[in-house]
């Protein structure tokens, strides 16, 4: 019976049967079994039917499976399912009584679906029961109820040894076996399917009472053995169901953790956005301040305030509120400064043996009062790092001593 691998993922379709598309129903078909009026009407194309029969008979030592594709529609209040393609479930882990759809299996199915049949829908699934007969085990029911639970999705079971097959449908919220189905093909193409005929066995000759007693004893032993076997299988399936529930709980926990991580990332993005806004405002203020200093519109008092503000901005030590307050103070200084105190700047080229303090002394500038503004204007980070041939701007025109 099919088992789901812990690591696999199934992409569940969300088609709503109430919005089922209009599909041309097959005109050329044969009926197999009895068609109930209120059952889902299942049509399987002749070549798909034969291909699945061939696949089922290719290896009867283990279970085989596939995903069946096609279309569905609603006509006169009845659901019609038309199976036109299939994808073999490769890379499975299988035995005589189990079939595991692995992660690799579903990767292959989804890739084939997208590449070869993108216009087809997943109509259901198919698997084999070699010599077990046609039924859905407890675990088969679990898969149908959890992964193929749309009203039009069916399960198709083939027993290649007993030459039996059958479809299972959703009916009144329950899974029931269909009594009949259709095999179809294109109009004008003959449908040649050999229907299985049940051979009637001749009645066995009468046995002696001793032989009958032996036969009854053997039947009792076989019944007892089968009872223990059935109990063992049931326990096995119960353990498999418990394992599946643990897997689903683990998946749910992981999804919740991913959601929490996503929320945390969104919060971090918001905080980074705010920090970027502060940095951008500081960069704008630096550029504006450098422009004011370069144009020489600050007196000596203003230069000191400007240099301090520029240093704090470059080191990102200001909040938006403090930054606005300091810029306001600068604006007030600019409005109060007399026109005659406008500071101009001159260019000076560094020669061998120069230091910033020597340059200030040679140009009648007080080093302690002016070195910060000189660094800021010229983009110099370290007063001791100037080089021969470098051109720097020096403030002139105001009271610089």
Q: What average pLDDT does the structure give for the chain?
A: 81
Structure-model confidence comparison of residues 149 and 282, the more confident one: 149
β-partners of residue 65 are: 127
For the residues of 90-102, what is the DSSP string, one character each?
-S-EE-SS-EEE-
Smallest CA-to-CA distance from 318 within 266, 281, 345 is with: 281
Interatomic CA distance for residues 341 and 70, integer angstroms: 88
* CA dihedral (183, 158, 161, 57) positive or negative: positive
Phi, psi at residue 313, to the nearest 5°?
-65, -45
345-381 core/surface letters (b: 16 or more CB in 10 A; e: else): beebebeeebebeebbeeeebeeebbbbbbbbbbebe
pLDDT score recorded for residue 251: 92
Q: Where are the alpha helices (DSSP H) in 44-182?
A: 46-57, 103-116, 138-147
- 8 A C-beta contact, residue 378 and residue 349: no
Interatomic CA distance for residues 321 and 375, integer angstroms: 26
pLDDT score recorded for residue 192: 92
DSSP state of 147: H
Q: How confident is the model at residue 294 (pLDDT cuts 50, 70, 90)?
A: low
Of the listed ranges 111-115, 178-182, 230-234, the one predicted with least confidence: 230-234
On the question of pLDDT at 6 being above 60, the answer is no
What is the per-residue pLDDT across 36-52, written as a single tens digit (0 to 9) for each? 999 999 999 999 999 99
On the question of pLDDT at 11 being above 60, the answer is no
What is the per-residue pLDDT across 264-287, written as a single tens digit (0 to 9) for each? 899 888 888 887 876 776 677 677
Interatomic CA distance for residues 270 and 146, integer angstroms: 39
Interatomic CA distance for residues 356 and 337, integer angstroms: 28
β-partners of residue 182 are: 31, 43
On the question of pLDDT at 145 being above 70, the answer is yes
């Amino acid at each position: 019976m099919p088992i789901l691998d812990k690591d696999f993922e199934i992409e569940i379709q969300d088609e709503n049967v109430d919005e089922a598309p209009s599909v041309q129903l097959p005109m050329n078909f044969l009926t197999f079994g009895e068609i109930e009026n209120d059952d889902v009407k299942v049509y399987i194309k002749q070549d798909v039917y034969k291909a699945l029969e061939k696949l089922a008979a290719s290896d009867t030592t283990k279970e085989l499976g596939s995903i069946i594709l096609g279309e569905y529609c609603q006509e006169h209040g009845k659901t019609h399912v038309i199976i036109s393609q299939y994808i073999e479930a490769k890379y499975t882990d299988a035995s005589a009584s189990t079939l595991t759809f692995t992660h690799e299996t579903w990767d292959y199915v989804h890739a084939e679906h997208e590449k070869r049949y993108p216009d087809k829908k997943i109509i259901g699934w198919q698997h084999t029961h070699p010599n077990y007969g046609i039924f859905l085990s407890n675990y088969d029911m679990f898969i149908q109820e959890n992964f193929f639970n749309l009203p039009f999705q069916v399960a198709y079971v083939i027993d290649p040894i007993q030459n039996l097959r059958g479809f299972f449908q959703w009916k009144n919220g329950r899974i029931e076996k269909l009594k009949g189905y259709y095999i179809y093909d294109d109009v004008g193409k003959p449908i040649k399917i050999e229907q299985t005929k049940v051979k009637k066995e001749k009645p066995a000759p009468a046995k002696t009472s001793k032989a009958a007693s032996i036969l009854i004893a053997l039947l009792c032993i076989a019944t007892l053995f089968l009872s223990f076997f059935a109990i063992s299988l049931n326990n096995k399936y119960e353990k498999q169901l418990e394992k599946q529930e643990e897997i689903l709980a683990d998946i749910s926990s992981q999804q919740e953790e991913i959601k929490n991580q996503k929320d945390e990332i969104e919060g971090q993005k918001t905080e980074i956005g705010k920090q970027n806004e502060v940095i951008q405002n500081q960069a704008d203020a630096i550029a504006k301040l450098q422009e004011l200093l370069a144009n020489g519109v600050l007196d000596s008092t203003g230069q000191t305030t400007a240099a301090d503000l520029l240093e704090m901005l470059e080191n990102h030590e200001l909040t938006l509120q403090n930054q606005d307050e300091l810029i306001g103070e600068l604006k007030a200084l600019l409005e109060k400064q007399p026109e005659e105190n406008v500071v101009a700047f001159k260019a000076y080229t560094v020669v061998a043996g120069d230091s910033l303090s020597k340059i200030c002394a040679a140009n009648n500038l007080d080093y302690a009062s002016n070195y910060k503004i000189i660094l800021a204007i010229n983009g110099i980070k370290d007063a001791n790092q100037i080089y021969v041939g470098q051109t720097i701007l020096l403030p002139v025109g105001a009271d610089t001593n």
